Amino acid sequence: MTRRAHTLRVRAGMPAVLLRVLLVTVTAAGAMVLVPVPLWRGVAIAAAVVGAIVPRSLAGWGGAACVGLGMLFADPDPAHTAIGVLVVHAIHVLASLSWIVPASSWISVRALVPTLRRFVAVQLIAQPLAIGVAVLAAPETGTGIAWAALAGAALLVVAVAFGLHALRRADADAPAVHSAPPGRSGADVGGPA
């Protein structure tokens, strides 16, 4: 009797390593277009390469952070803001896919459709918000971005308070673990007494 290897054929598929190549490509393109400091560009691209080779290192997200933080060195521009939101979100999606899909496998293009739909839905919400903040925070208005920093700090305080409240409720609702009464032996597995 001979052993046959089991195979699974994917119609309209692509090599999953392409997701990792796209991660490096999108990060490099975003860094070259948006980041004016060469050191930040290099760090972003190096992080993307490490993230593509070892996705569990989270370096892909480090590349996204370098692109976002590197934009702080450039002059404010609504077009760069829109491109930055698009690029950082694309890096996040590609790094997430690289993490869960093995590089040696094939992935069905149809399996990526829900991810693409979510990507478009988030962009439809995030792009108008980013453009609105960029326009409202323009230096011509005289107020600058100070109001956005205060609003962000207030939102952070509310989020932390909500998180702490949720943790306290979760701890209060946790069932108590009972020990076996003295004289009985065995592990208490929480079954009926």
Helical ranges in 71-108 per DSSP H:
78-100
Query: Distance from first CA to last CA of the chain, Å, rounded?
Result: 53
pLDDT classification of 12: cutoffs 50, 70, 90: confident
How many domains would you assign to the chain?
A: 2
What is the model's pTM?
Answer: 0.71
Is residue 162 in a domain?
A: yes
Residues 49 and 105 in one domain: yes
pLDDT digits (tens, 9 = 90+) for 128-183: 988 887 777 666 655 566 667 778 789 889 999 999 999 888 777 666 655 555 65
Is residue 188 in a domain?
A: no
pLDDT classification of 77: cutoffs 50, 70, 90: confident
User: What integer pLDDT is reported at residue 151 of this predicted model?
Assistant: 82
CA max distance for the chain: 82
Is residue 193 in a domain?
A: no
Distances (CA, A) of 153 to 63, 98, 126, 136: 25, 33, 19, 18
Residues 27 and 56 in one domain: yes
Residues 42 and 92 in one domain: yes
User: What integer pLDDT is reported at residue 183 of this predicted model?
Assistant: 59
Domain encompassing residue 94:
13-136
